[in-house]
Amino acid sequence: MRPEARGTRMDWELGISGYIAPATLSAAVRYLAESSTQEYPPLVWAGGTDLMPRMRMRWLDSPEQGGLQSLLSLRSVSELSGIEVVGDMLRIGSLTTIEEMRRSPLISAHAPALAIACDLFASFQIRHAATLGGTLVNASPAADTAGPLLVHQAVVVCAGWRDGGVDERHIPLAEFWLGPGRCALAADELLVAVELPIFPDSGWVAYEKHCRRPAKDISIVSITLAVEPDGDGGLCRSSLALGAVAPTPLLVPQVAELLAEGGFGSKEGHSRASRMAAEAASPIDDVRGSAAHRRHLVEVLTHRALDGIAARMGYSDFNGYEPPQRMTITQSGSALTNCELPPMTPQPSAELQEGDIEVNFTLNGGPMRRNIAAGATLVALLREDENLTGTKIACEEGECGACSVLLDGRAVQSCLTLAVECEGREVVTVEGVYAPDGELHDLMEDMLIEGGVQCGFCSPGMVISGLSHFLNGGGGGEQELARAIEGNLCRCTGYLRLLSGLERHAARLGGGVGLE
């Protein structure tokens, strides 16, 4: 790492050589095909929550690589968006964000395990940016969406440019991952969508992400179980998937076989199935947990999931059994949230540009036009060029929330957001939250009255997260409010006074809030 580069403008520009944002899938895959033979083919950019920290590391470690790679942004490709039912399948566009999936009634109704996983995925800021495609192509064995999509029998739709047209191929998700960080997508292909059969209303799912703090940590182990009863006391299908215990997310078909052969619904059968799951795992020791601990967790959590679902289905051996709260057991349609997220405004496309790039967006209510480097982060633009230093910078990797801003009304971390990706959108920093006469916004006042401000470093990020919560239909329940700021760290207040401030504001509103 080059220490002299940290915290400087250079640090933030990441050395990107060019930028293109095609309007259509065919233009995007054609560009990929034409540039795939280059020594440094373009980087496909979706939410950037994986790429930004990775690129910053690479740029700091080996700046000689800077300036060699261009970005292909997916922001304007409308074919990659949307969640819809097509026949008896659910189709989810790869550009759908985790928060859009978390709030989708269709996903809650037809892919309940995925809905739970999205609920436990990182913080609001990350969920507002991270996409389904990014989480799958990233190929992490610990990805929260992986197990649920496996038990829901997902198929990945990929597209490339072949013989003068867009050519699609379908890959079962179980065959998609090849190892940590590696997947079956060819270098000149894009992931277009994921398709999964509609989960039956009578089915049950269980999911647990075992970690210290879901908003900040990836799982030590995750487990997803789906069970489809046959209506006659048996099962027509079951599926168990494990996360973070093998080089790729892992299906355990031998457990499904055992359950189908009468192992489900008895204590002995569940014990055998749980031991089988633990034997199938091949975990490693790492900073998050030892291999032995992980294997033990697989056995315990599989047992709890089986017992919990059997209890809900009325098997007498499990009367009254409730697994600990960390495990969620549910059926189709048990909505986790009652507020669908309105779709994002479509963004304008951009031709291939090199050197500085013109970007136009609305900043705190006024028009903004700047020429900036393609790799410049939004926080660099705000603090360095616009002198809007209310937006703080600390961890630079999406952990602390100090750099949060509103992007089209949703909190995101400006250290993980490329300024060029804000084209055509509306950015609000804490400076834009004040009333036009300079008076404090009601939310700021409520936080102040309740003593939710000490050194004040986290306060701008807290205000932005609070506003994002209320603007997007969040309610005033204690747990909901705590979750609203779980992506923001505060070293001073102990959080309780911040929560009191949010509670006071929720009471003042009795509903949603505007910025006026």
Ligand X SMILES: Cc1cc2nc3c(=O)[nH]c(=O)nc-3n(C[C@H](O)[C@H](O)[C@H](O)COP(=O)(O)OP(=O)(O)OC[C@H]3O[C@@H](n4cnc5c(N)ncnc54)[C@H](O)[C@@H]3O)c2cc1C
Residues that bind ligand FES (CB under 6 A): 393-396, 398-403, 413, 415, 453-458, 490-493
| Residue 134 contact among ligand X, ligand FES, none, beta carbon within 5 to 8 Å by kind | ligand X
Give the total of residues touching ligand X (CB under 6 A).
Answer: 31
Is residue 231 classed exposed, middle or buried when 0-12, 13-18 and 19+ CB atoms within 10 A define those classes? exposed
Minimum CB distance to ligand X, residue 360 (Å): 22
User: Which of 81, 96, 131, 328 lies at the binding interface for ligand X (CB under 6 A)?
Assistant: 131
Q: Draw the binding track, 52-71, toward ligand X (x: CB under 6 A; -: no contact).
A: -x------------------
CB closer to ligand X, 160 vs 323: 160
Minimum CB distance to ligand X, residue 43 (Å): 6
- Nearest-angstrom CA–CA distance, 287 and 87: 45
Establish if 190 lies at the interface with ligand X (CB under 6 A): yes
| C-alpha atoms less than 13 angstroms from C-alpha of 122 in its C-beta half-sphere | 25
Minimum CB distance to ligand FES, residue 455 (Å): 3
CB closer to ligand X, 364 vs 465: 465
- Nearest-angstrom CA–CA distance, 411 and 488: 11
Distance of CA 423 to the CA centre of its chain: 22
Distance from the first to the final alpha carbon of the chain: 45
Pairing assessment for the beta strands 69-73 and 43-45 based on DSSP bridges = parallel
| Residue 11 contact among ligand X, ligand FES, none, beta carbon within 5 to 8 Å by kind | none
User: Which of 104, 135, 347, 488 lies at the binding interface for ligand X (CB under 6 A)?
Assistant: 135
User: Which of 12, 31, 121, 161 lies at the binding interface for ligand X (CB under 6 A)?
Assistant: 121
Q: Would you give the DSSP letter of residue 347? A: P
CB closer to ligand X, 44 vs 374: 44
Establish if 113 lies at the interface with ligand X (CB under 6 A): no
Establish if 488 lies at the interface with ligand X (CB under 6 A): no
Establish if 147 lies at the interface with ligand X (CB under 6 A): no
Closest CA to 99 of 117, 76, 77: 117
Distances in Å between the alpha carbon of 379 and those of 40, 69, 199, 238, 415? 27, 22, 42, 47, 5
Q: Which residue minimizes CB distance to ligand X?
A: 134
Establish if 166 lies at the interface with ligand X (CB under 6 A): no
- Placement of tokens 């270098």 in the chain: 187
Helix (H) or strand (E) holding 405: strand 404-407
Q: Would you give the DSSP letter of residue 344? A: P
- Burial letters 341-373, b for 16+ CB under 10 A, else e: beebeebebbeeeeeebebebbbbeeebebebb
| 122-130, 245-253, 287-295, 465-473 -> range binding ligand X (CB under 6 A) | 122-130
The dihedral formed by the CA atoms of 136, 138, 143 and 146, expressed in degrees to the nearest 10: 20
Establish if 20 lies at the interface with ligand X (CB under 6 A): no
CB closer to ligand X, 258 vs 415: 415
| Residue 241 contact among ligand FES, ligand X, none, beta carbon within 5 to 8 Å by kind | none
- Nearest-angstrom CA–CA distance, 308 and 310: 5
For the chain, the residue count is: 516
Judge contact between 343 and 240, C-beta under 8 A: no
Type of residue found at 15: G
Minimum CB distance to ligand FES, residue 382 (Å): 12
Look up residue 100 and give its two tokens.
Answer: 């859009």
CB closer to ligand FES, 187 vs 448: 448
| Residue 271 contact among ligand FES, ligand X, none, beta carbon within 5 to 8 Å by kind | none
Minimum CB distance to ligand FES, residue 392 (Å): 7
| Residue 395 contact among ligand FES, ligand X, none, beta carbon within 5 to 8 Å by kind | ligand FES
- Chain residues that interact with ligand X, rule: CB under 6 A: 43-51, 53, 74, 94, 121-122, 126, 129-131, 133-135, 137-138, 143-144, 185, 190-191, 218, 398-399
